[in-house]
Amino acid sequence: MATRLNPYISFAGNARQAMEFYQGVFGGDLALHTYADIGGGHAPEDADKIMHGMLETSGGLTLMGADTPPGMEHRPGNNIAVSLSGQDADELRGYWAKLSDGGTVAVALAEQMWGDVFGMCTDRFGIDWMVNISTPQT
């Protein structure tokens, strides 16, 4: 198996809802493992929290996420965004519509000065997304 790079998002107790939302956006197979699934060593109130979640799509997208582990501080930041780019305009516009629904649009999905269609939004879980639809090269 080749080495791969994918985002891993830490959530503040709503990882299940967020990962199910992303499955609704991208499709694919979602595996969620709770602290109870791994057994022992967790407080009863943490049993249903997500220890590890992984969404894999047939198109090769992989997104991982989990609730912040007990005893660790959840520190959301603004120094990271998830980028989706390619030439399949219909697919990317579909992702954009779902990700921006209930979120905040910072840059509307529109043609930009470099010729591509680009937009930036923050989804309902506070995750920043950039979508870029490339202009086919001639």
Per-residue pLDDT of 83-113, as tens digits, reads: 899 999 999 999 999 999 999 999 999 999 8
Structural domain spans, the chain:
8-67, 82-133
| Residue 43, amino acid | A
Structure tokens at 12: 């503040």
pLDDT by residue (tens digit) across 5-48?
789 898 989 999 999 999 999 999 999 999 888 776 678 888 89
- SS3 state at 2: coil
Matching fold, domains 8-67 and 82-133: yes
pLDDT by residue (tens digit) across 67-82?
987 777 877 766 678 9
Q: Yes or no: say if 72 and 45 are a contact pair by the CB < 8 Å rule.
A: no
> In whole angstroms, what is the distance from residue 36 CA to residue 30 CA?
18
Write the CB contacts of 80 (distance below 8 Å, at least 6 apart in sequence).
7, 128
Q: CA–CA distance from 24 to each of 27, 99, 110, 113 (Å)?
A: 6, 10, 23, 31
CATH value of 82-133 in 3.10.180.10, 3.30.470.20, 3.40.50.620, 1.10.8.100: 3.10.180.10
Q: Which of 127, 105, 131 is nearest to 118 (CA)?
A: 131
> In whole angstroms, what is the distance from residue 63 CA to residue 51 CA?
14
Q: Is the pTM for the entire model greater than 0.95?
A: no
Q: Yes or no: say if 13 and 71 are a contact pair by the CB < 8 Å rule.
A: no
Asked: is 8-67 a CATH 3.10.180.10 domain? The reply is: yes
